[in-house]
Amino acid sequence: MRIRALAFYLSLLLLIGGPMAMSAWRQSVAQRQLASALVALNSTIEDGRAIFDLRAQQQRIGNRDRPAQDVIAQLNSVMMDVGIPSNHLKSLTPESDALVTQGDPGNDRGEHGQSGQFKKQSLRVILENLTIDELGALLIQWRQRQQIWTPTRIELTHVRSQTAVNNRYDATILISATYLADG
């Protein structure tokens, strides 16, 4: 009789305890997935804020002088600082130098009540055979050292090679400077 009672209690324990143990395991898996999703969500929110902050930044407006034309020297200096050989710089060419159209065409008053019109000068920089890390280091250093020339567009072209593993890119970067034109 005792064996029957023991078998009954043991089977009752398995019937009740088995599903409870399975539920506890599923809950721990779900909690780990939730924690991972929250980390990804927070990272995405931070990235979004960074993008909005960068888009909200206005380009610094220089004085009435045209931006300095020593961009090649500045670029070579930044490249040297981040460890990119100067032979990776393929070209730096003028792209445009034009008046910036503002919302009200009749309003020629600039920022802070200054009269005059804004001009935007753009240069195209072509860099060859860079890794993403090199490009990122270059852009970070450029942003820290540069007050007027701002990257406004970046195009990457994957470099094809004979090797199976090649994560190098050619980068075309459009940099622009906005300044007050003499009236």
Q: How confident is the model at residue 146 (pLDDT cuts 50, 70, 90)?
A: confident
Q: What is the pLDDT of residue 165?
A: 63
Q: What is the pLDDT of residue 110?
A: 43
Q: Which of 25-39, 61-75, 154-168 has the highest mean pLDDT?
A: 25-39
Q: Is the pTM of this model over 0.75?
A: no
Estimate to the nearest angstrom the gap between the alpha carbon of 78 and the chain centroid. Answer: 18
Q: Residue 149 contacts by C-beta under 8 Å, 6 or more apart in sequence?
A: 67, 71, 74, 123, 142, 175, 176, 177
Mean of pLDDT over the chain: 81
The predicted-structure confidence for 103-142, as pLDDT tens digits, reads as follows 444 444 444 444 457 888 889 999 998 999 999 999 999 9
Q: What is the pLDDT of residue 81?
A: 93
- The proportion of the chain whose per-residue pLDDT surpasses 70, expressed as a percent, equals 79
Q: What is the pLDDT of residue 59?
A: 52
- Options 3.30.70.60, 3.30.1490.100, 2.102.10.10, 3.90.650.10; CATH of 61-181: 3.30.70.60
Residue 73 has pLDDT above 60, yes or no: yes
Q: Return the closest-CA partner of residue 119 out of 61, 41, 55.
A: 61
